């Protein structure tokens, strides 16, 4: 970009009072985005946040950009139309686990397969916050909530697995306790030419406090969060003593000392085949097991809005610009003399 | 045109004729009808057509469910419907005869492909004896023609295989009917060459069959006469034959230019609206983006997103799809962005009769959203009017920043009429200004942008699209503070915004034409119509007048708001009759609004009104 | 009850009082109000309550957006609304005072927690100067009490930390108000022990704070008097205090037994309907299956599937969710299966004002489906009436095999009233017979099952559920042949089925109570209401009568079909006034149906009608 | 089952004339089901077919069982409610690729994760048949149809990958040209205790004729269809000369002679981790490459409707049967004396 704007975090803060519960993880995600955008050198007027409904979905109100707080579950669909309408826009989509995976699940998976340039930040707090605490499609089995007083029975989605199964080109994961990691991950999503899904572990301290604590508390991170880095062996632990081994049964955690460094898988986010990324997404099935974060997959694929525009250009090149008078005559005409 | 010796048949003059081509889905009846129509257009007749398809993609051959029909009416005067009962039926097989015979006028002409009347086909059609022999056809003028065989024989010399030759039998039938109504042969032969270009054998076979049919009429001794229909006194100019879906699509294409905006269509296929998606998908060189979404909610959502992004956005569907879009349309009402929702109505409830027309989504269009969520409604009244209705809907959407419902129906969608092509330069400019500058000041005197500060005239809010520097702002479905657009739970503000939204839509009444009264304005009876009933009402009113009945009639193209003079007009009549393809939806609206005793003439059988039905109701109202 | 020496205050008798507890979301106002209500119930007062929550889960402390309010009205006579303007306001912080003061009656009592009136809180509330000092409160009887400090001091001896002690200040306030209105202390103390069982320190602190507040009233010299409200002359029997959502849930629980069917609820959370899902989810021992679906479409679809499977099925939602269910409800109309759709209406359009009541989904309930798709509509009129409305909706759904819309709203949902518990054995039997046998014969005399062969009386079709041998059959959303249920595109059959569906719903008019006229039946003016306006209309009519105004009033619990005598009733009145929390939806329906000049009294600000507003409109109508 | 009914195919045929186009692949699927049900010994009255809208969705009309032809995309949701309402029913869901993956995608993935006992037969003809030929979510990129005259741009879903990403316990694939394979596969779906998805390659000879021909024509099958068999090495080819090798990059086809039989992966449909099944679903990305058919995954998981019923029983055992009079009193009462 030639005329990079120089902005600061403050430029990206709207004049609206932030209305999340004190202590909510949403605050730190908001801060991470507000710190990142100046670094990206993007323009406020070309940045749009589209959200559905939920606590997370209040996000656009707090950004001094264009923003739409739409209806429950539909943000990916609306954002797709918006992205198609104007190639200059950076379109971000914000939503909770209910918004995106429950009522909005279909739009999410279709946005993924189409690879349209919308950047989807999924605030996963494993609960419905705004409606005051029902279980969500990411809540663990047995969860006791207002709508499941005897424990929920539904097996949760893993958002990364789901997106990979839906042909996603870019899938990543981060958490609300690590601003640096969030910023780096959001940046990667922004850089990707196509649709991008970032799952963010987010704490809802009112209805599901500490749900991610086993992973995201500072003391636990080294042993519980597995940072994926392209081209590097997948290792973790305070002294990188653990690693991930992949074989024909799937992925599993091993002690490096035991299996040897050569046995540790090297992460390839660009792999054309999403299978290994999928394996990594199955490593942890509860928020109490070592869990990969970072970019699972960032594969190159044609971006949808550019391809759409190219079809218009090609048609114009081939057929000439549209001529309405000629179109009206295209079915054959006859003339009645006066 | 032929070498064979011919007898001269007497030529009778007719002022109009209604012909129905009926055959199996595979028999090419739509194409035959189309061709006949085009040849008639060239002769300067006025005309109107109506195709009827089977509901199944390929219903089993020979069954009644598989019958495909094309009706065309040609005349030497101005007409507005495809006609009530056919004067001529071309029946290519027993199922076609069985299903269509009840419609034919008494004494009508029936041309039959006798070769198809074998036992198997008779049984499939549910005939227990052969109607050609058992007296079923008494009272009609029946012309039995062994079309399959004659076609086969006429193409033999070309080396066409018998099975393939059969496929040309519709051209044989077309030849017979073309002769019967003295249509010119050249346009059809030209067309055959163009259409099948590259397939020489097909061209030769079809041409041979067509000519053979024509010559058969001329030569065979079975026809007593042939007929001529003079050209109609149509206004001079260049015409094309257009159906409603095509006209509507072209109207949408036109709006892009008239509004100087890129057009966006978000759609999900559904009968009978899909053809609009198809037609617009072909118009990429007009800069039109079409997006086939995963469902109707996404289709409408994407259109809303594109509208928010500054495109001229449409979404097209039919009833079941509209039901799914209601929540998103409610958001558009709250956001106040321009968006045109096209509903090509079909038979219901639920999946109903997908291929049959109905006009029963009016009240859903009006009220099918949670809370008070008013939107303007425009309805097309004839196939070619769909073009102008699209422009009018876009004009209102853009000018007032509002979703607009545009109603068509399965009858308009598929039936066609000659259309005097408009001068494209004479079409209205519907472009609007987007916001580019702050429009207010904060307490400190700094310029700010107030997204809900309205134009005092139209009450439209600014259209400030992403990408515009300095106008960054947030909108959403929660109630908004006037004029900042910030979320507000304040009771007085909410009441105020509810009023503003209602007033904006109501105010459009100032900006639309008054309703015109046709016929005898001093009559006691007013027939009030909307949508595709226009043709039938117009024809019925003329017929009534011819019989000395005094009747006034008026047609609504704007259903919300109503034209400003409608109340006054209605108050002038003792009786108001509202023919509708529903159970009285417009009549309920005018009764509630004006407290007039509008009587519903309801028709809900999946078949459009005939002028005869409306005429009968007029006569009944007038005690005539 | 205390050891300290007390001065005897004069006791004044009141016939009613409206008290509003207002504080920050974290201040426990709902609990305080609830407790006061319970203590009053025990005293035999009639009462009515209305909670108001902030829209945010936890709006920032101290702000106006974060104010949580509980209004309770207690009286010695029969009341039906939580009261118009409060006589007493308890304001726990500046934001509470600022937002609630405009509602308080002139000369009303204001009890203030002065400790919260520091600079920071004043600023957060948007006060530029301290209202306690700047004359803002002139004209009110103001009682400033340093509640936080007194609470802290009263609990010090227990070893409660000051920060924790603060949490008990709502009990201090409750103590003051309990003293002021001579409420008994035991129920509250008992309740504290029960509620906080196991948390001894919390019990001790709350009890100490409560007693301290009570004693403060008795001891401090600031209160001139305290008040007594005699018990109301309520019909004898056992009462509970119930809000609409709970009553509705219990009504649903009851229908399972009354219909002898397992109950199924398919739902997706949405304010203000979620509590029905929550309550029913707890009732698994009643055999109730609750299913939290992925969205409203699936919730309604699953309920439809369960209904088809022979369960008594419900789906609960609010406006935006109802918009999504319309297509599925259309299918239920076509399939003719019993299904109750509950819409707890809220402010719109779109997301609107989710926590505020509105009653503007009536026309969507009536018309929000493609094509002609009629369904019965039942509306509850008071919190406890929600119980009976649920039973009535289920009765109609089962008997007529039809989806039924049951309308409640956010006001009914959350407000509560004493409910004279019904004898559960006296509740109606609503069970119906399922089909078990073939009901027809084919040409060969073999028994066959005709799924659309109707009961001649009700026009209901058989309910033949999967699992029943011999009745295997197919149904679907395409038009069905009468009575076989096979797909039919036949025009006459379609028209006939459209009529049958309409006639079935219209016929329910014979099976519902006639509308009753209250007040003075010979008045010129009839006030016609529906839904939650009942309380305000009833109160207004009584007040009007007290002032010598003649007014009749009637309330509809069935909106489709209307009671059979409604037209006749309406025709008896010169003027008809229809108060509605919408822009005139019922008035449009009766105008269209009966051509009467019903005038709409519309209120659309997210706040329920007060009886005063309706009284004023009555007075205006009567020129009084 | 004690009283197994003896039925024949004819008993399962309804009196309605079958209305698909002559030559449509739907006919053979119908026949396979009608031949299978007598073999399963199930009862007609306990068998229900629920469908959406589309050509495929006409299926229930032709079965002499209970049946519901519902609305577009919603059959899995309706079937879920039906399955919950009566434990004795066999609930089958029928739909096309548009019905199930486009408008109905969300219900499909949620039915998968919940593992409710509905057996979903997805007739994949890679086109919208009933609406006369628009591209579908399984159509290949570049597909020219009525709604994509310049070629479609949307990357297709692989139904198997999508279902596996959505936590499906049972996923299989078969095709309309092989009745035996269809019957065996449908039987496995029926036997599975939970939700089951079977993708069926189906030919739409009117709008997408021959789309699967490279795989399903008799002459091509040996080399192009890879039959998965639990516990056996994954081999194919006229002489089993090819096999599937799995390593840390994914799955690929190899010549057995080259890599040795030991290198060929052994299929484990019961694996708790769906990653390997996912890998197999990525082997072919177009209908012109060797493609696995058969059961990809059949893992044991708690079935949803049974778990729901168990909660009712537990609650009754713990709290006693419901007592309405007591419930009405549960919030506390007071008595007004007469
Ligand atoms: C159509 C519709 N259905 C339901 C709702 C109610 N609703 C609002 S937010 C929400 C879920 C919130 O959960 P999530 O998306 O996880 O966001 P969070 O609040 O946890 O950030 C629901 C069910 C709605 N607003 N609209
Ligand atoms: C709500 C709704 N939207 C759209 C349609 C139109 N429609 C009917 S079937 C269909 C898709 C058919 O494709 P598929 O599901 O693949 O089934 P197939 O006909 O190919 O078997 C569509 C779009 C409809 N009936 N209802
Ligand atoms: S309810 Fe939970 S997610 Fe919502 S704002 Fe509060 S803490 Fe955050
Ligand atoms: S259109 Fe295609 S899928 Fe539909 S019945 Fe015909 S061949 Fe089969
Ligand atoms: Mg959440
Ligand atoms: Mg298909």
- As given in the structure block, the two tokens for residue D1 are 């089952």
- pLDDT recorded at residue B5: 44
Is D208's pLDDT higher than 80? Answer: yes
Burial class (CB in 10 A: 0-12, 13-18, 19+), A193: middle
Tell me the residues of chain A between 146 and 205 that have a Cβ less than 8 Å away from chain C. 146-150, 152, 154
pLDDT above 90 coverage of chain C, percent: 81
D54 C-alpha to center of ligand 6: Å? 7
Residue B430 has pLDDT above 90, yes or no: yes
C295: chain A residues, CB-CB within 8 Å: 73, 102-103
pLDDT of residue C59: 74
Q: For the residues of C108-120, what is the DSSP string, one character each?
A: -EEEEEGGG-SHH
pLDDT digit string, tens, across residues B511-558: 999 999 999 999 999 999 999 999 999 999 999 999 999 999 999 999
Per-residue pLDDT of D244-259, as tens digits, reads: 999 888 899 999 999 9
Counting as contact any 3 or more CB pairs under 8 A, the partners of C are A, B, D
pLDDT band at C314 (very low <50, low <70, confident <90, very high): very high
Return the CATH number of the domain spanning residue range D9-232+290-309.
Answer: 3.40.50.970
Residues that place a CB less than 5 A from ion ligand 6: D 96-97, 125
Partner residue facing A315 (CB), from B231, B242, B284: B284
Sorting pLDDT into bands at 50, 70 and 90, what band is A244?
very high
- Asked whether D125 lines ligand 4 (CB < 6 A), one says yes
Distance CA B324, CA B309 (A): 23
Q: Above 80 in pLDDT, residue A338?
A: no
Interface list for C 291-320 with A (CB within 8 A): 292, 294-296, 320
Distances (CA, A) of A305 to A50, B278, C283: 17, 20, 50
pLDDT of residue B469: 97
pLDDT greater than 60 at residue B59: yes
- D128 within ligand 2 shell (Cβ under 6 A): yes
Q: Does D107 touch chain B (CB under 8 A)?
A: no
pLDDT at res. C8: 63
Beta carbon of D184 within 6 Å of any ligand 4 atom: no
Query: Is residue B56's pLDDT more than 80?
Result: no
**Mean per-residue pLDDT for A12-32?**
95
Q: What's residue D178's pLDDT?
A: 98
In this predicted structure, what is the pLDDT of residue B6? 47
Least trusted range by pLDDT, from A263-277, C153-167, C488-502, D144-158: C153-167
Q: Which of C1-15, C22-36, C552-566, D180-194 comes out lowest in average pLDDT?
A: C1-15
| Cross-chain Cβ contact B294/D131 below 8 Å | no
Q: What domains appear along chain C, each with residue ranges and CATH number?
A: 11-229 (3.40.920.10), 241-426 (3.40.50.970), 439-511 (no CATH), 517-622 (3.40.50.920)
Indicate whether residue D206 lines ligand 4 (CB < 6 A): yes
Q: Taking 90 as the threshold, does the pLDDT of residue B165 lie above it?
A: no
What is the pLDDT, as a whole number, of residue C177? 93
Best of B309, B425, B451, B463 to disrupt the A interface (most A CBs within 10 Å) is: B309
Burial class (CB in 10 A: 0-12, 13-18, 19+), D57: buried
For the cut 60, the answer to whether the pLDDT of residue C1 exceeds it is no
pLDDT of B197 > 70? The answer is yes
Q: Of all atoms in ligand 4, which is nearest to the CA of residue D54? A: 4
DSSP string for C15-46: SEEEEEEEEEGGG-HHHHHHHHHHHHHHTT-E
| Best mutation site among C270, C344, C353 for ligand 1 pocket (most ligand atoms within 8 Å of CB) | C270
Average pLDDT, integer, range D76-84:
98
What was the pLDDT predicted at B57?
73
How far is the centre of ligand 3, averaged over its atoms, from the C-alpha of A134 (Å)?
12
Q: Rounded distance, CA A54 to CA A130, Å?
A: 5
- At C576, is the pLDDT very low, low, confident or very high (cuts 50, 70, 90)? very high
- What's the CA gap between C172 and C112, in Å, rounded? 12
Span C81-96, pLDDT tens digits = 888 889 999 999 999 9
CA distance C42 to C232: 11
Q: pLDDT, tens digit, for every residue of A288-324?
A: 999 999 999 999 999 999 999 999 999 999 999 999 9
Give the pLDDT band (50/70/90) at residue B11: confident
Mean pLDDT for C421-444 is 96
Confidence of residue C3 (pLDDT cuts 50, 70, 90): very low
pLDDT at res. B1: 37
Query: How does the average pLDDT of chain B come out, rounded?
Result: 94
Please enumerate in sequence order all residues whose Cβ is within 8 A of that of D18, keeping only pairs 6 or more positions apart, or say none.
Answer: B60, D27, D30, D62
The answer to which of A57-66, A206-215, B131-140, B264-273 has the lowest mean pLDDT is B131-140
Whole-number Å distance between alpha carbons of B131 and B507: 62
Question: Which chain B residues are within 8 Å of A325, Cβ to Cβ?
Answer: 421, 424
Return the residue whose CA atom lies nearest to atom 10 of ligand 1. Answer: A54
Instruction: Report pLDDT digits (tens) over B329-346.
Output: 999 999 999 999 999 999
Among residues C132, C60, C56, C59, the alpha carbon closest in space to that of C94 is found at C132
Position C624 confidence tier, pLDDT thresholds 50, 70, 90: confident
Question: How high is the pLDDT of residue A295?
Answer: 98
The Cα of C294 is separated from the nearest Cα of chain A by a number of Å equal to 5
Residues with C-beta less than 6 Å from any ligand 3 atom: A 20-21, 24, 26, 55, 125, 129, 204-207; C 57-58
How much is the mean pLDDT over chain C? 94
In D, minimum Cα distance to B299 occurs at D103
Taking only residues 226 to 285 of chain C, the set having a beta carbon closer than 8 angstroms to any beta carbon of chain A reads: 268-271, 274, 277-278, 281-282, 284
Note the pLDDT tens digit of each residue in A92-103: 999 999 999 999
Tokens of C202: 């919390």
User: Using 50, 70 and 90 to split pLDDT, how confident is the model at B258?
Assistant: very high
Give the start-to-end residue ranges of the domains of chain A: 9-232+290-309
Higher model confidence: residue C1 or residue B379? B379
Predicted pLDDT at C61: 85
**In the structure, what pLDDT confidence band is assigned to residue A4 with cuts at 50, 70 and 90?**
low
pLDDT level of residue D5 (50, 70, 90 thresholds): low
pLDDT at B3 over 80: no
Q: Which residue of B has its CA nearest to A320?
A: B285
Which pLDDT score is estimated for C6? 47
Cα C96 to ligand 2 centroid, rounded to whole Å:
55
pLDDT at B7 over 80: no
The reported pLDDT for the residue numbered A322 is: 94
pLDDT for res A5: 56
Q: Please tell me the pTM assigned to this model.
A: 0.94
Q: Note whether D18 and B66 are within 8 A (CB).
A: no
pLDDT at residue number D232:
97
Average pLDDT over residues C98-103: 92
For residue B346, the distance in angstroms to the closest alpha carbon of chain C comes to 8
The answer to whether the bond into D240 is cis (omega within 30° of 0) is no
DSSP state of B487: B
Tokens 């529903």 locate to B582
Specify the pLDDT at position C476. 98
Look at D114 and A155 and tell me if their CB atoms are within 8 Å.
yes
Mean pLDDT of C362-387: 98
**Measured distance CA(B121)–CA(B67) in Å, rounded:** 12
Residue C176 pLDDT: 93
Q: What is the pLDDT of residue C2?
A: 38
């Amino acid at each position: 970009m030639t005329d990079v704007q120089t902005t600061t975090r403050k430029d990206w803060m709207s004049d609206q009072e932030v209305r999340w519960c004190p202590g909510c993880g949403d605050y730190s995600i908001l801060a991470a985005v507000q710190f990142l955008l100046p670094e990206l050198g993007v323009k406020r007027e070309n940045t749009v946040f589209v959200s559905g409904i939920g606590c997370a979905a209040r996000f656009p109100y707090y950004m001094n950009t264009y923003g739409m707080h739409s209806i429950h579950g539909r943000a990916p669909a609306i954002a797709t139309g918006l992205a198609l309408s104007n190639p200059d826009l950076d379109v971000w989509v914000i939503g909770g686990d209910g918004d995106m995976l429950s009522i909005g699940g279909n739009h999410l998976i279709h946005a993924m397969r189409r690879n349209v340039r919308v950047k989807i930040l999924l605030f996963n707090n494993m609960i419905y916050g705004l409606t005051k605490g029902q279980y969500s499609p990411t809540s663990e089995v047995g969860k006791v909530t207002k709508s499941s007083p005897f424990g929920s029975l539904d097996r949760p989605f893993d958002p990364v697995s789901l997106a990979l199964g839906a042909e996603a080109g870019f899938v990543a994961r981060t958490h609300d306790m690590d601003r640096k990691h969030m910023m780096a991950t959001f940046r990667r999503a922004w850089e990707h030419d196509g649709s991008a899904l970032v799952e963010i572990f987010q704490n809802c301290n009112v209805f599901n406090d500490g749900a991610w604590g086993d992973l995201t508390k500072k003391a636990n991170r080294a042993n519980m969060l597995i940072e994926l880095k392209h081209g590097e062996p997948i290792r973790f632990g305070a002294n990188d003593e653990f690693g991930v081994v992949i074989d024909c049964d799937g992925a599993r955690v091993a002690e490096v000392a035991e299996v040897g460094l050569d046995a540790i898988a090297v992460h390839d986010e660009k792999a054309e085949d999403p299978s290994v990324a999928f394996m990594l997404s199955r490593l942890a099935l509860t928020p109490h097991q070592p869990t990969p974060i970072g970019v699972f997959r960032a594969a190159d694929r044609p971006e949808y809005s550019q391809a759409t525009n190219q079809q218009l250009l090609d048609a114009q090149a081939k057929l000439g610009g549209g001529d309405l008078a000629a179109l009206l005559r295209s079915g054959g005409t006859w003339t009645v003399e006066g | 045109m032929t070498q064979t010796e011919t007898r001269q048949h007497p030529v009778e003059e007719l002022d109009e004729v209604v012909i129905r081509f009926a055959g199996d889905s595979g028999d090419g009846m739509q194409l035959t009808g189309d061709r006949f129509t085009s040849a008639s257009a060239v002769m300067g007749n006025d005309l109107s057509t109506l195709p009827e398809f089977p509901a199944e993609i390929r219903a089993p051959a020979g069954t009644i469910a598989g019958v495909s029909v094309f009706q065309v009416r040609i005349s030497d005067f101005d007409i507005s419907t495809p006609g009530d009962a056919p004067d001529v039926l071309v029946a290519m097989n027993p199922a076609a005869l069985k299903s269509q015979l009840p419609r034919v006028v008494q004494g009508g002409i029936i041309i039959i492909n006798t070769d198809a009347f074998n036992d198997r086909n008779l049984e499939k059609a549910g005939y227990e004896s052969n109607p050609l022999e058992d007296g079923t056809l008494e009272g009609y003028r029946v012309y039995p023609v062994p079309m399959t065989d004659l076609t086969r024989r006429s193409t033999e010399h070309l080396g066409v295989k018998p099975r393939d030759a059969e496929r040309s039998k519709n051209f044989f039938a077309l030849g017979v009917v073309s002769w019967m109504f003295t249509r010119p042969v050249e346009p059809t032969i030209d067309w055959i060459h163009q259409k099948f270009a590259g397939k020489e054998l097909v061209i030769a076979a079809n041409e041979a069959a067509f000519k053979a049919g024509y010559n058969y009429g001329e030569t065979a001794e079975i026809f007593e006469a042939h007929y001529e229909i003079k050209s109609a006194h149509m206004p001079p100019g260049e015409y094309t034959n257009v159906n409603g879906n095509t006209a509507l699509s072209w109207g949408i294409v036109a709006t892009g230019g008239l509004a100087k905006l890129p057009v966006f269509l978000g759609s999900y296929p559904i009968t009978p609206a899909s053809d609009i998606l198809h037609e617009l998908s072909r118009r990429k060189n007009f800069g039109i983006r079409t997006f086939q979404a995963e469902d109707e909610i996404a289709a409408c959502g994407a259109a809303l997103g594109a509208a928010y992004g500054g495109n001229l956005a449409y979404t097209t569907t039919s009833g079941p799809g509209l039901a799914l879009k209601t929540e998103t349309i409610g958001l558009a009402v709250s956001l106040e962005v321009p968006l045109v929702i096209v509903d090509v109505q079909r038979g219901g409830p639920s999946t109903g009769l997908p291929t049959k027309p109905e006009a029963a989504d009016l009240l859903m269009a009006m009220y099918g959203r949670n809370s008070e969520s008013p939107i303007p409604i425009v309805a097309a009244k004839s196939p070619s009017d769909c073009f102008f209705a699209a422009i009018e809907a876009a004009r209102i959407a853009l000018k007032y920043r509002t979703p607009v419902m545009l109603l068509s129906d399965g009858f308009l969608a598929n039936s066609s009429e000659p259309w005097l092509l408009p001068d494209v330069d004479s079409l209205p400019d519907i472009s609007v200004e987007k916001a580019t500058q702050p429009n207010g000041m904060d307490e400190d005197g700094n310029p700010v942008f107030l997204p809900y500060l309205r134009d005092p005239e139209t009450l439209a809010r600014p259209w400030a699209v992403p990408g515009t520097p300095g106008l960054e702002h947030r909108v959403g479905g929660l109630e908004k503070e006037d004029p900042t657009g910030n979320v507000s739970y304040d009771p007085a503000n909410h009441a105020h915004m509810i009023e503003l939204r209602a007033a904006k839509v109501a105010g459009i009444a100032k900006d639309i034409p008054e309703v015109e009264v046709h016929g005898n304005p001093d009559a006691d009876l007013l027939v009030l119509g909307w949508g595709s009933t226009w043709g039938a009402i117009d024809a019925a009113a003329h017929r009534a007048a011819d019989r000395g009945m005094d009747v006034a009639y008026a047609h609504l193209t704007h259903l919300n708001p109503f034209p400003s003079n409608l109340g006054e007009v209605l108050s002038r009549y003792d009786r108001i009759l509202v023919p509708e393809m529903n159970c009285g939806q417009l009549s309920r609206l005018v009764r509630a609004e004006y407290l007039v005793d509008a009587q519903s003439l309801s028709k809900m059988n999946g078949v459009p009104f005939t002028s005869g039905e409306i005429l009968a109701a007029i006569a009944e109202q007038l005690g005539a």
